[in-house]
Amino acid sequence: MLGSVIGLGAALLIAGCGAGQITQTDRQVAAIDGASVDVRDIAIRNAELAFPGDVQPPAYLQGSDAEVLMSIVNRSGTNDELVSIESDEAANVSVQGDREVPAGTALNVGPTEPGAGRQLHAQVTLEGLTREVRPGQTVKVTLTFRDAGDASVELPIKAPAEPRVSEHDEEGGH
């Protein structure tokens, strides 16, 4: 009996020593809809295009403008700056607001939220899209930072805030 208890204890000790080494979750990332890219100490997170709610079915038509949403996080100990954003899939990219990304801070890109206080904020618009873009498709943009360099990101369209309603739902079906 004592031998089996010692054997079980040794097996648990050996199994516990390997915990976290090679697991099914060691490479998982957060479940967010937008794209994520790192360039040196700059992390671009949840990068996407705003949902086009004014066209049915939802799409950005050729020649229309699309608002960009993302967070740019500077994980370094030195300040950096967003120099430009370019895309071959838009006639122009407009960048308004803050461009500095101080060390240890985040630059929020998207619409200004009321009561946000003095957060670093910029608005980026892809003007004059060169093709129609529907949910499930992406638009490639390249962000250039003064120190970190270039980062290419494939921007998907953000999921809608409201649940999709089908014709069957509108007719009172289940």
In the 8-state DSSP scheme, what is residue 8? H
Under a CB-based contact definition with an 8 Å cutoff, are residues 138 and 88 in contact? Answer: no
Gap between the terminal Cα atoms of the chain: 61
pTM confidence score: 0.76
How do the pLDDT tens digits run along the chain, 174 residues long? 655 555 555 555 555 555 555 665 555 555 567 999 999 999 999 999 999 987 888 999 999 999 999 999 999 999 999 999 999 999 999 999 999 999 999 999 998 766 656 689 999 999 999 999 999 999 999 999 999 999 999 999 998 877 766 655 555 555
Q: Which domains does the chain have, with CATH numbers?
A: 40-112+119-154 (2.60.40.1890)
CB neighbour burial string for 49-77, b if at least 16 within 10 angstroms, e if fewer: bebbeeeeeebbeeebebbbbbbbbbebe
